[in-house]
A and B are shown apart, each in its own frame.
Chain A
Amino acid sequence: MAVQDPQFPLPLSRRGFLAGASLLPLAGLVPGVTAAARAAAPDAPYLFFTKHQAAVLDAATRRLVPGPDDDPAEAGHPGAHEAGVVRYLDAMLAIFDANPPKIFAGGPWSNRHTTGPNHLTTFVTPDAAQAYSWKQRIAQLRKDYTAGVKLLDSEAGGDFTTLSTSDQDKVLASSALGEFTALLFGHTIEGMYSIPEYGGNAGLVGWKEIGYPGDIQPRGYTAAELAEQQIDVIDPIGITGQVLAAFPHVAAAIVTRGQRHVG
């Protein structure tokens, strides 16, 4: 809801994405993608979604966080589809199908950067207060997603998946969909960048794409890695330039956004 009154300057024309950004610091730490690490096979059954709901959400999340097949500017850059975001959404909405429910992944570490068992796959059983809260939360989210997909279809005149990508963008950005698009985008970001044990970030493509090692215990970082000067010059162009130009307002808006959240 916040900041619909853009006093933001919008100075720079859009350009292609940033040149020269070397995105692989600690390259050895950023896990590679292997076929075996990919998420569930595309035709595996969904726990909550119908095939059609999954198809609509796949189409929608491809627009929110596009990959190589969705936007020519994203060649070589995996997006929501490659990360298995719909699988993440499905797992979230079916959180109570498993025992224990898949609300809280376990600990203490995955051994992704070391060798040994992955302790994160053993989920933590919620206590009565946590179960009480999450049952309500998931029941509401199931309603939101069911209604959201219906709305995408109806705004598309029947089937959202049949629209052109530019028309899909228009529907997603329309005021009719605003609230659901925001909900879906927020969860899509979780599905891109959370630990993969929650069902998304398949093959760690979300982290790899941005040069982020993710969970690092029990390895941690050395004193040298802590202090390292990692030169990586970028130009203030494209959307990055726009955000920078508006930065004081952005910073203020961030705070405003935080406080405006009144339930």
Chain B
Amino acid sequence: MSARKAVIAGSGAGASVTAMVLAEAGWHVVILEKGRSYFSDLAGSWPPTTTFSNDELKAARSFENPDPIAYPRTFRSSDAQTDGYYVGSVNELPVTVGGGTVHYGAAVPRFWDIDFKQLSMLGPQPGADVTDWPFTYADLAPYYDEIEALIGVQGDIHQMPATPTLAHAPRSKQFPMLSGPQQRASALCADGARSLGLHPYPFPQAINSRPYNGRPTCNNCGFCDKYGCVIGARGSALDPLRRALLTGRVELRPETMVTGVERQGTKATGLHWVTTDGRRGTETGDVLVLAASAIESARLALLSGLPNRSGRIGQRLMFHYFTDGFGIFLDERVHAYRNRGSETQCMEDFNDPDFPGAREFAQLQGLPYIRGGLCEMGGSQGVITEGQFYQFILSALQPQQPFGRSFKELMRSSILRDRLVGIQVMGHDLPYRSNNVTLDPKVRDFHGIPVPRITWAPGQHEQVAQEFYLPHITAVLKAAGATVTATVPANSDQIPVLGAIPDTKHVLGGMQMGVSEKDSVTDAFGRMHGTDNVYVADGGVFASSGGQNPTLTIMAVALRIARHLAGTSAPAAAAARSTAPHDTLPATGGRPLLPLTALAATAAGLAAHRAT
């Protein structure tokens, strides 16, 4: 194999897999990562040591996230809004070696068959740009298998429901590890859901339930989702990055942000970069890969003026449209701060367009079908975040004295943390061309580069689906034993989430895959139409959003793209690199509180408020 060279923007889920495959196929690879590394040498002792920690304040201070002062984004809910819109954090993902996977909750369910063939199998939706992916679930399934083995996923096929989950996402084999122990809050939700005839199951998690890939068993510390794992129990981009680096053909350059693509006609020649301390240069290569996450890759394509025959670069941006249910237990402390991933149970019934009553409800509203999404069951929030909610609540409840002993009493009773059980529905977000990334005409980052301007609003489908599923979420919380419940929005004639600053951390689309250059940005293997050698290998290529956490799918799609580039389209048998014993031990997994989107958004708002 001739030694070719790839230059990759980003080091997260998609970038890491791409680098691994190309390097192991003999390529030279340079990875340009905007952020810094919080790990020791990934090619050295394993798992690496880290400066991540169980520290809520450090996370709130944007330790791994882009600081909104240096790297702001702008947001508006409609392009009719031409001025005075929000400047700050908008659905930002970490900027650090490993990207979002350094602090994701490691929830790694698969997408469904209907996600890849949504137009063919479910039909069009008014106002939306529904389309098929250029491949099927069956095409991607072997890549899913391989990624699950690569990063180490726990789960249990025998506890997964035949319908809807396995019917829509069939598995050829058991998970690499069995599910670890269940946390109280999640188990209560699962029992409640089961009593209603629903189908919860242990959440597939890229978290070790036994030693795997040279990394230890999770100890359920509870600082998992939105925190870096300090013991190396979480599977992530670090696993493929290590394999890439161990080839000796990969250079990983942190604090180096890609600013554009150098190009002559259809042939790109390199990526321009600037270091955090201001040095600039260009890295040349035979293949250039954009994998900086959906919003940033679209920003790069727009900054570079890459060919855009479909007019769709940056369009069809999908975030998921989360709905939150809150249950409060007055008879017990459900202590969701002891957790793994945030919650250890999930349920996919609400992701099914044929959920009982869903089609009838949709048709009454003039829609062919609606989909909610996967439910994450049993999360709560951190103690500083909790305190800041009470601060806010007291300002409304007793403005004459919104502090003092009332605050202390609330912290002790802890109805919004230690007694709280959250259910979060990951609302399937249809693709709309009006939801998009453009370059902000005014705001620039601290390098002087135009920032992404996000225009996004839920469409009719998302709002109708949310309205339909609200009472079902409440029913599950009640069946779980919650004394008091609430779902957001509180009533259907007022949807307060409209206009909210998106903070779902699921960022998809904008560089959509397709067959024709007339209506897609990239081809079936991630090559940008109108270019010979610019590839996209992150969530940007998604043609639909599914109703699940997207990281596993990002990695599986990147694997398929990279295998094509390397000339080995069929998935090779995964190189068994695990140094772990193969006996299955009961796990003691662990992780922090799952952030309810609304709560997280509020916390972010508070933090940003304090920052201004």
Contact = CB atoms under 8 A, between A and B. Distances in A.
A174 to B, nearest CB: 10
Nearest to A214: B54
Assign chain A's interface to a size class: 35 or more
A246 B389 CA distance: 14
Contacts of B488: 251-252, 254-255
Interface string B255-286: 10000000000000000000011100000000
Nearest to B403: A64
A258 B333 contact: no
Interface string B179-201: 01111100100000000000000
B181 A107 contact: no
A77 B404 contact: no
A77 B408 contact: yes
A227 B324 CA distance: 23
B43 interface: no
A2 B501 contact: no
A259 interface: yes
A73 interface: yes
A263 B612 contact: yes
A31 to B, nearest CB: 14
Given A258-B604, A259-B500, A64 B404 contact: yes
Interface string A99-126: 0000111111110000000011000100
Contacts of B85: 262
Given A236-B330, A244-B415, A250 B53 contact: no
Contacts, number: 356
A255 B397 contact: no
A18 B418 CA distance: 15
Contacts of B408: 17, 65-66, 74, 77, 79, 209
Contacts of B410: 239-240, 243
Nearest to A249: B490
A36 interface: no
B387 interface: yes
Contact of B588 (A6, A215, A222): A222
Contacts of A44: none
A63 to B, nearest CB: 6
Contacts of A3: 395-396
Contacts of A185: 391, 403
Contacts of A218: 219, 230-231
B361 interface: no
B384 A194 contact: yes
Given A66-B405, A257-B605, A227 B230 contact: no
A226 B403 contact: no
A183 interface: yes
Contacts of A248: 486, 490
B397 A8 contact: yes
Interface of B: 35-36, 38, 49-58, 60-63, 66-71, 85-88, 180-184, 187, 218-223, 228, 230-231, 255, 276-278, 324, 326, 328, 330-335, 337-340, 383-384, 387-389, 391-415, 418, 446, 483-491, 494, 496-497, 499-501, 503, 586-588, 590, 598-602, 604-606, 608-612
29 contacts: A17-B405, A71-B405, A74-B405, A108-B53, A109-B54, A110-B53, A120-B55, A127-B35, A129-B66, A129-B276, A132-B70, A182-B609, A185-B403, A189-B391, A192-B387, A209-B412, A211-B418, A215-B223, A216-B54, A216-B221, A217-B231, A218-B219, A226-B182, A236-B483, A248-B486, A254-B602, A257-B602, A259-B605, A261-B608
